[in-house]
Structure 1
Amino acid sequence: MPSVLNMKALSYLFLLLLIDPGLVVISVNPSLNDDVLGLIVFKADIKDPKGKLVNWNEDDETCCGWVGVKCNPRSNRVIELNLDGLSLSGRIGRGLFQLQFLRKLSLAKNNLTGSVSPNIARLDNLRVIDLSDNNLSGEIPDDIFRQCGSLRAISLARNKFTGKIPTSLSSCSTLAAIDLSFNQFSGPIPSGIWTLSGLRSLVLSDNLLEGEIPKTTEGLKNLRTINLARNQLSGKIPDGFGSCLLLRSIDLSENSLSGSLPDDMKQLTLCSYLSVSGNAFSGEIPEWIGEMKSLEALDVSLNRFSGMVPSSIGNLQSLKAMNFSGNGFSGNLPESMINCTNLLALDVSQNSMSGDLPSWIFKSDLQKVLVSEKKLRGGLKNSLYSLEAVAVQSLKVLDLSDNAFSGEITSDISVLSSLKLLNLSKNTLSGPIPDAIGELKSLNSLDLSENWLNGSIPMEIGGAVSLKELRLRKNHLAGGIPTSIGNCTSLSTLILSQNSLTGSIPTVIAKLTNLQVVDLSLNNFTGTIPKQLANLPNLLSFNISHNNLKGELPAGSFFNTISPSYLTGNPSLCGAAVKKSCPSVLPKPIVLNPNTTSSDYTPGSLTPNVGHKRIILSISALIAIGAAVVIVIGVIAITVLNLRVRSSASNAPAALTFSAGEEFSHSPTTDANSGKLVMFSGEPDFSTGAHALLNKDCELGRGGFGAVYQTVLRDGHAVAIKKLTVSSLVKSQEDFEREVKKLGKVRHQNLVALEGYYWTPSLQLLIYEFVSGGSLYKHLHDGSGGNFLSWNERFNIILGTAKALAHLHHMNIIHYNIKSTNVLMDGYGEAKVGDFGLARLLPMLDRYVLSSKIQSALGYMAPEFACRTVKITEKCDVYGFGVLVLEVVTGKRPVEYMEDDVVVLCDMVRGALEEGRVEECIDTRLQGKFPAEEAIPVMKLGLICTSQVPSNRPDMGEVVNILELIRCPSEGQEELG
């Protein structure tokens, strides 16, 4: 065995050879193994904090037993180096170039930095290079692949590379897979890539690529996957895609592509996924789309397509998801789609479609149907619709709002037994609400607003015990509110305004302790307001304006500060809020009967104590009168003081008054008293006053950045307002507005939309869409009885949250505060992530502020917050997401305090996994109701995301891909190499 001195000497000799082979003319004895020398030199350039490479010993004659090293058993030369996820840092040194027989180099999921050497692709036998998920940066030399030998796969995904994609890639004729996604590559796609005849997978998504897609050739006959999503590509899809007959997945979404779909794409009969959403495509969807018979997902949303949905869609019998929303389609859905027996999700909303609703929708296994048009008022269609429900068990979401449906809602609606959301608002439906609506036991949201419905609200409505939202505004309903409404104990929103309802407000409403928004305005209600309503703990809005109610308002924290606009039009109401005192009801005075006799009385003489009794009576009367006067004066004084306080509060610069036509307008306004308000879209239509922000009754919750309140627009639409409490840390107005406007442009179906903001030097408000379903935390931990999330709902929440974070990271926005209270549920059961990007409002990302103010939830905080030497990146979001995944699957909080112990969720699940009992960790409420082949991989993914080392955590884009594979496993991929 050579001495240590000799080995070190050979190491220096090897370094000299690398610098300039001409400096030393000597033959190194192969028995001393060049591979050992190369790997020792490579190790000298990196840091190994976990000691994973501790057995790499420079005194060894061979390296074949070293961690991550695989040798050819015959020659003992290194053929594979796999150091994935070992928490390595540092740079990739030149020692690797001595591994002349290396076939696979994989250094993925570490924290390597620096640039890539131009010599890395010149190892003659190298077939696979995987440097993904690191912090590598800089530009890739254009000639790096001039001598790429037999290279078959290269992945530089999820790094920070810039500059152009090297044109020399076209020299690698053996390449089968290229993945350069999630970097900052710019410029055009090199046309030479299209000449690689062996290429099977090309993934260039999530970069800054621009220009047109190069014209494809028959050279790409082996291509299976192409993903160019989320770039800045323009122009048309070039001819030639149809020659790639083996294509199975095409994703060109979120670019600026235009034109129509090229005809030769009809030859792609093996393609199962096609997405061109978020572009500027126009024209009609061609009939030949039906020839792509393997399609499972077809997404053409958010384009400018027009014409009718082609009848050939019915030929796509494998289709599971179809999204045609946000275009200009007209006509009706073709009857041929009855043949799409595997269809689960159909979205054709925000188009201009007409015709009868096809009956096949209710004969299929569809789970989600969105046909909402959301057209401008007055833009209803001319054609008439009819609604006929036929037996179906799977449908969960049915949104047919803003169309021209007519006719009656039949009792057949009861067969939609799994329905959770039914929205038929803004149509011309007539007739009564059927009694059968009460048979929908799973229904969470019912919206029949703005129709021509008549009759009364059926008593059977109380059978819909899961109702959280009931919206019946602007119809012709009569009669009273049925007392059975008290059975809907989950009800949080009750909108019955603009009808002809009569009778009194039933006392049973006081039992609905989850009520937040109530609107009974513009009806004919009479009687007094039940005093018990003062006990509703979550009430935020209670509008009873323009009725015939009388008497005194209930005494309670909400009603003490109710907005006067909610009470107008009730002339017989009294109380401080309407500035009208109520009649006093005083007890009758005690009067002694002057004709009273006693046994001691004799005619002609006085009763012995009569004079004294009269004096006592006078004093009592005076005391009573004095007390009454004092009480009246006190009431008047308190009322005046309250009015002054309210007047001063409404005039204070820090208060925001939501009065249409004054401080609110579509254009931003700045005023010394009112501040500056900007709404990103639509006309502001607020009806409440400053109390909506200053009154704790309207408070939804508090976080590190401030409190969140709810207020309601005049049409019943609610918004959430975050009142920032970090004013001393917030940037200047110019910087604040710039950052907020950037956040306002961030739009994703799984993100809570920012709708506007308000600025004064002492008060900053952020105006968000209101998400009605409450937080994920509430659904996981505050549920009772059988009302809990199913496995399918939990999986969709995890996937939706992952997509939201991936989108934020693509926009270079770190959330910093992932936790179950910041994931909200909308009426469709979709997850929406809120509170994102708020750290951008601070002048600097101070760790103390981030950890103590923003990332305030125990258990979610990534460990790098405690280490000042570790950079804060998107991987801190990944950690919080991993904890969230475990919380969703197990139903347990991230940290739970037992009687004599503290249980950390990550540690508990990791220990159970090591002991082979991970299935025991799954929420006991899901026992027997979850697929282990999905739940266990999801839990393992959560553990990977909570790795202590940031570089070991996957990217959120990769997380989305993994989740989609877990839910829909592919038919398998052939191995490269």
Structure 2
Amino acid sequence: MGTPFLLIFLISFLLLCSLSFQTTVDNQSHFFTLMKHSLSGKSLSRWDVFIPGEKPYCNYTGISCNDEGYVIKVDVSGWSLSGQFPANVCNYLPKLHILRLSHNDLRGSFPVGISNCSLLEELNMTSSSITGTLPDLSPMKSLRILDLSYNLFTGDFPMSVTNLTNLEWLNFIENACFNSWQLPDDFSRLTKLRTLILSTCMVHGRIPASIGNMTSLVDLELSGNFLVGQIPPEIGKLKNLRQLELYYNQLEGEIPNELGNLTQLIDLDISVNRLTGTIPESLCKLPNLRVLQLYNNSLTGEIPSAVGNSTTLNILSLYDNFLTGKVPSNLGESSELVALDLSENRLSGSFPPNVCKGGKLLYFLVLQNLFTGGLPESYGKCTSLLRFRVSYNRLEGSIPEDILGLPHISILDLGFNCFSGAIAKTIGNAKNLSELFIQNNRISGVIPPQISQASNLVKIDLSNNLLSGAIPQEIGNLWKLNLLLLQGNKLRSSIPKSLSSLKSLNLLDLSNNLLTGSIPESICGLLPNSINFSNNHLSGPVPPSLIKGGLVESLSGNPGLCLSVYLNSSDSKFPLCPQIYTRKKLNYYWVIGTSGIVVIVGTVLFLKRLLSKERELMEQDELSRLSFSHVQNFHIISFDEREIVESLVDKNIVGHGGSGTVYRIELSSGETVAVKKLWSRKTKDPTSEDQLIQDKELKTEVETLGSIRHKNIVKLYCYLSSSNLNLLVYEYMPKGNLWEALHRGRSLLDWPTRHRIALEVAQGLAYLHHDLLPPIVHRDIKSTNILLNADYQPKVADFGVAKVLLARGSKDSSTTVIAGTYGYMAPEYAYSSKATVKCDVYSFGVVLMELVTGKQPIEAEFGENKNIIYWVSSKVETKQGAVEVLDKRLLGLFKEEMIQVLRISIRCTCKAPSLRPTMNEVVQLLVEADPCRSSNKIKQSSYLIKTKNDA
């Protein structure tokens, strides 16, 4: 009886196992069917190939099974998949150990069910566009690797990770939409953790001392947060630590000496904090240290001499501190330095002679210090150098020939020193040189013609030296040149006609030299945005286009210049040219010889009438000008002021702004201009607050727009002022403003057009923030201040509240008047009254949201006292994810690209200014999100800058 019973039991058991395994096979097969239905992407076609067998999925690309046929790994990272990942993955794949979904576009919130995968050892979902809140992660007890970086998680940080005691890798970098949170003491429970990356995660408060108990740590990154207090000396217990990054926080106090115990440390960056005291000698003795970055703090004292003995150091960045004393003379002798930045300190003495002995130095940046002596000849052998900046020091002697001819150098900045001697002909060997600055020195001799062989030059500033001789004709071969400053020298001869071939030239200053001859007519076809020929010995007629362009001031101090009578100008700065009368006299004699006395009399009468008529026109023109007490021109345009005044009628009104009425005026010349007639708020008391504010805003707009030039910033042609009338004449933008085009336009702007508008506005703002010195903060960026021409090219307008920052950036950027517009205004500006470039970044982020969503910044559907930023952040938490906020009128086209720009807008509108990107970074991100590119994936990298933007 026993044997048959046992046999029946075994057969039943095997049958049940077979059925169970068949169920597992069916479940696993069904899961991959679900994946194909819920996700889209060309890469999934790899699974469409017929594979024989009962478990074909085990042979799919990216899939691995164990010997029993259970799926243990799913790796579809970088497949450019979009859609929602199937829920309850581990119900279908019960033995799953590795799940890699990174670099995809998985819409919606964290996939339901993943947190129940108790056998999962690795979960990588970096850069997958996941939104919403995170669930309790505690059930994933087996996890060793958890990477949820570069997503858009909101709500509270998942403190449940502290229960995952098997974790070895934890990465949440750049999830800046979390609620503020603090590092708890029980993080130290993760004793197996080797990598902890919590950069840009809204971490506040202090670094707990208990972190010193996490002795397995190799990589600790807490940068880009709001950490305060002192760096705990207990970090010095982390004997295995190789990388420590605490930059972009608010840490204070001294750098603990205990960090010198981290003998395995390779990379240390605690820049952009509030650290004080000296640099510990123990840090500079670390045997494996390659990167030491302490810039933008308040460190004092000398650079420890031990740093010169390092055999491993590659990058040393200490700029923007209060360091004093000499640089160790042996710096770079024993290590292969790649970058050295000691700028903006109080360092003195001479340069270390062998700093590039290792042959790999790319950046030598020591500007704004107190260095003395000459440039070591050995620097001419630094052929690897890309940037060499030593301006604003007390250096002297000649510039070594080899330095001027470095083959790979891009920026050579020697300005504001006491250099003497000549510019060597070797400058022609600098084939990669784009910017040459030697201004405000004692350089003598001639400008070598060989400079034209440095064919990549974009900027040349040799102003305020002792240069003599002629301006080389060969400079006209530098077709990329956009800035040429030679003022304040002893240059002689005439202005070379070859300059007219510099079609990219934007700034040209030849003032305060000894130039002679006439102004070439050909150069007037070029007419840079800023031109200055004043205080020379130029003579002859002034080309009419220079006068019409409002450039009279740029010609002053040239007694030999004169005006042609045919110019019809009453400008009294220059006399009429005598050759005009000579030519007419010759014409008179010619008529005598050919036509007789009757014709002579007729001709004389005609000439008298002609001259009389011209004088009459000049007098009328002068009377017209007298109605304006101040006329200031900035661009070439031909019009009569009376024509402008007579056209200020109701039928020409196109809009009303906060500062005045805007008219569209068609000139008799065929050109169309926009004229802003400013509101008159004149009071009896010219010192009243209202009047002072109005005058200040007017002066700001005139000075700002008159001095800057960019294709995406509206042109101010001229400014006309009288006792009761102030007019600003702009280029006319026929498509109105962006707000009208988005919210009231007859035709719908497609996404490529919107993207181009966003990119070009960003380029204009980047010009204001990064290309001007000092930079300019617009302070009122909004869609109504972005104007569109006939081709929908955008231009930033309305600089009435713009603020020019002081020379050392935004450290002193306070203002007593709150500017800006509700809905666009950065939160910190509203309560701190400090205007910084990050305020513009925030406002631009709101404009990006307008472009992506089609919504206005304030709408009733957002809720009372809620704006578009709140609405977007609340919507991206839903299952539909970011797709739900996209402008439905665009018919679902370019979804991926629009979501990329949405992510940029969210970065720009972070509550914390330090977490917002710069406008240069925004430009790069928008370039990478171009819908017209073959590949539109944004490169996922932190926008926190670790090296100085020294250009």
The correspondence of residues 455-474 of structure 1 with structure 2, limited to 5 A, is 457=447, 461=451, 464=454, 466-474=456-464
Q: 1:484 to 1:750 in 2, by over 3 A?
A: closer
Give the corresponding residue for 2:810. Answer: none
In structure 2, distance between residues paired with 1:577 and 1:619? 28
Is 2:486–2:510's contact at 8 Å kept on the other side of the alignment?
yes
Deviation at 1:564, TM superposition (A): 2.7
Alignment match, 2:313: 319
What is aligned with 1:398?
Answer: 388
Q: Take 1:543 and 1:450, find their aligned partners in 2: how far apart are those partners?
A: 18
Shift of 1:285: 1.7
Is 1:494 the counterpart of 2:480? The answer is no
The alpha-carbon deviation at position 368 of structure 1 amounts to 3.7
Say yes or no: does 1:701 pair with 2:711: yes
- Which of 411, 418, 421 is equivalent to 2:411? 421
* Letter paired with 1:331: G
Residues 1:89 and 1:564: Cα distance change in structure 2 (over 3 Å): same
- Matching residue of 1:582: 577
Partners of 1:701 and 1:709 within 8 A in 2: no
What is the Cα-based RMSD across aligned positions, in Å? Answer: 5.3
Q: Is the 8 A contact 1:196 1:220 kept in 2?
A: yes
In structure 1, what is the equivalent of residue 531 of structure 2? 542
Give CA deviations for 1:924-975 in whole Å, capped at 9, x if unaligned. Answer: xxxxxxxxxxxxxxxxxxxxx53xxxxxx465227999x99xxxxxxxxxxx
Identify the residue that residue 867 of structure 1 maps to in structure 2. Answer: 892
User: TM-score normalised to the size of structure 1?
Assistant: 0.64
1:40-81 Cα deviation digits (max 9, x unpaired)? 479669723459498799x99757548578464432223223
Which residue of structure 1 lines up, in the alignment, with residue 144 of structure 2? 152
Q: Quick one: distance in 1 between partners of 2:447 and 2:933? A: 47
Partner of 2:850: 844
Residue-by-residue CA offset, 1:290-338 (whole Å, 9 max, x unaligned): 3333333322221222222222222333333322212222222212213
| Aligned-partner Cα distance in 2 for 1:614–1:723 | 54
Q: How does 1:347-426 map to 2 (within 5 A)?
A: 347-361=341-355, 363-374=357-368, 381=370, 384-390=372-378, 391-392=380-381, 393-411=383-401, 413-414=403-404, 416-426=406-416
Instruction: Report the AA paired with residue 517 of structure 1.
Output: L
**What is the CA–CA distance in structure 1 between the aligned matches of 2:49 and 2:605, rounded to whole Å?**
103
* Secondary structure at the counterpart of residue 194 of structure 1: helix
Provide the secondary structure at the position in 2 that maps to 1:573.
strand
Kindly state the Cα deviation for residue 342 of structure 1 after the two structures are TM-superposed: 1.8
Q: Does 1:757 align with 2:778?
A: yes
Q: Deviations over 1:546-582 (max 9, x none)?
A: 33433311244x5531333212333443334844443
What is the Cα deviation at residue 400 of structure 1?
Answer: 0.6
Higher mean Cα deviation, 187-196 or 203-212?
187-196
Mapped contact 2:226–2:250 kept (Cα < 8 A) = yes
- 1:515-570 superposed Cα distances (whole Å, 9 cap, x missing partner): 3311122334344323332233x6222112233433311244x5531333212333
Counterpart in the other structure of 2:236: 242
- Corresponding position of 2:940: 956
Range with bigger deviation, 403-412 or 616-625: 616-625
- Of structures 1 and 2, the one with the larger relative CO (CA 8 A, separation 6+) is 2
Q: 1:77 aligns with which of 70, 83, 91?
A: 70
Residues 159 and 30 (structure 1), Cα distance of their counterparts in 2 relative to 1, 3 Å cut? same
Look up the equivalent residue of 1:319 and give its one-letter code: L
Tell me by how many angstroms 1:223 deviates.
2.1
Report the CA distance between 1:751 and its aligned residue: 12
Q: Aligned partners of 2:25, 2:87: CA distance in 1, in Å?
A: 14
Is structure 2 residue 651 aligned with structure 1 residue 618? no
1:956–1:676: structure 2 CA closer, same or farther, 3 Å change rule? farther
CA contact (8 A) 1:397 1:420 kept: yes
Alignment of 1:224 onto 2:212: no
Q: In the TM superposition, what is the alpha-carbon distance from 1:753 to its structure 2 partner?
A: 9.8
User: Which is worse superposed, 252-261 or 449-458?
Assistant: 449-458
Q: 1:129 aligns with which of 123, 126, 133?
A: 123
> By how many angstroms is 1:362 displaced?
5.7
Structure 2 distance, partners of 1:103, 1:593, is 105
Contact 2:323/2:347 (8 A) holds in 1: yes
Match of 2:555 among 547, 563, 567: 567
Give ranges in structure 1 of 5+ residues lacking alignment.
1-25, 376-380, 597-609, 712-720, 733-739, 771-810, 813-833, 851-860, 889-893, 896-903, 907-944, 947-952, 965-977
The change in CA–CA distance for 1:105 and 1:633 in structure 2 (over 3 A counts) is same
Aligned counterpart, 1:266: 260
Identity of aligned residues (%): 23
Distance 1:846 1:114, change over 3 A: closer
Shift of 1:178: 0.9
CA distance in structure 1 between the aligned counterparts of 2:524 and 2:27, rounded to whole angstroms: 81
Task: Give the number of equivalent residue pairs.
Answer: 739
Shift of 1:177: 0.9
CA contact (8 A) 2:248 2:270 kept: yes
Residue 47 (structure 1) aligns with = 38
Give the letter for the 2:892 counterpart: C
Equivalence for 1:11: none
Q: Label 1:79 to 1:509 Cα distance change in 2 as closer, same or farther (>3 A).
A: closer
Q: Distance in 2 between matches of 1:344 and 1:408?
A: 26
Q: 1:35 to 1:288 in 2, by over 3 A?
A: farther
Q: Quick one: distance in 1 between partners of 2:607 and 2:510?
A: 42
Residues 52-63 of structure 1: pairs in structure 2 closer than 5 A = 52=44
- Which residue is equivalent to 1:554? 543
Instruction: Please list the CA deviations of residues 104-154 of structure 1 after superposition, one character each: whole Å capped at 9, or x if unmatched.
Output: 22333444345447864444422112233334333334x531x43322111
**CA contact under 8 A between 1:38 and 1:96: conserved in structure 2?**
no
2: CA distance, partners of 1:108 / 1:171: 24
- Matched residues in 1 for 2:167 and 2:772: separation? 38
Shift of 1:487: 5.2
The 8 Å contact of residues 730 and 842 in structure 1, kept in 2 or not, is answered as no
- Give the aligned residue type for 2:900: K
Task: Indicate how the Cα distance of structure 1 residues 188 and 669 shifts in structure 2: closer, same or farther if over 3 A, else same.
Answer: farther
- In structure 1, how many angstroms separate the alpha carbons of the residues matched to 2:30 and 2:321? 60
**Conserved? CA contact 2:31–2:92, under 8 Å:** no
Report if aligned partners of 1:247, 1:271 keep a CA contact under 8 Å in 2: yes
Residue type matched to 2:435 in 1? S
Contact (CA 8 Å) 1:194, 1:214: kept in 2 or not?
A: no
Checking the alignment, whether the CA contact within 8 Å between 1:330 and 1:352 is kept in structure 2 is: yes
Counterpart for residue 668 of structure 2? none
CA contact (8 A) 1:551 1:572 kept: yes
Within the alignment, does 1:728 sit opposite 2:734 as a pair?
A: no
* Change in CA separation of 1:124 and 1:467 when aligned onto 2, cut-off 3 Å: closer
Between the aligned partners of 1:669 and 1:872, the Cα distance in structure 2 is 48
* Aligned equivalents of 1:454, 1:746: Cα separation in 2: 33
Question: Would the alpha carbon gap of residues 724 and 678 (structure 1) be closer, same or farther in structure 2, given more than 3 Å must change?
Answer: farther
Query: What is the alpha-carbon distance in structure 2 between the residues aligned to residue 324 and residue 548 of structure 1?
Result: 48
Pair 554,865 (structure 1): closer, same or farther in 2 beyond 3 Å: same
Instruction: Give the superposition deviation at 1:229.
Output: 1.9
Give the conservation status (yes or no) of the 8 Å contact 2:240–2:262.
yes
